[in-house]
Amino acid sequence: MKTIKEWLQELPEELREKALGYTHEELLDIEISSLRGALYGAFAWEETPEGHTYWCNIKNGIEEGDIC
């Protein structure tokens, strides 16, 4: 188990900065069992400029091993 912040730190720099910037501070210390889960629970994807589809593709890339 790691915190959401610890998991998001593992993303490539551009994604890491975006994801950490969108995550509400009170969520950063919540413990999660995977990077995929941390990304899914960190913030509302549809409320970002990139949108839901962008973050869903990132999550799918993590699952397939294409990211990280």
Is the separation of the CB atoms in 14 and 67 below 8 Å? no
Is the separation of the CB atoms in 22 and 45 below 8 Å? no
Distance in angstroms (rounded) separating the CA atoms of residues 66 and 19: 17
- Count of structural domains, the chain: 1
pTM of the entire predicted model: 0.88
pLDDT at 68: 57
- Look up residue 5 and give its two tokens: 């912040």
Which residue ranges of the chain lie beneath pLDDT 70? 66-68
pLDDT at 63: 77
Is the separation of the CB atoms in 43 and 26 below 8 Å? no
Distance in angstroms (rounded) separating the CA atoms of residues 38 and 61: 14
Question: Which domain does 33 fall in, by range?
Answer: 2-64
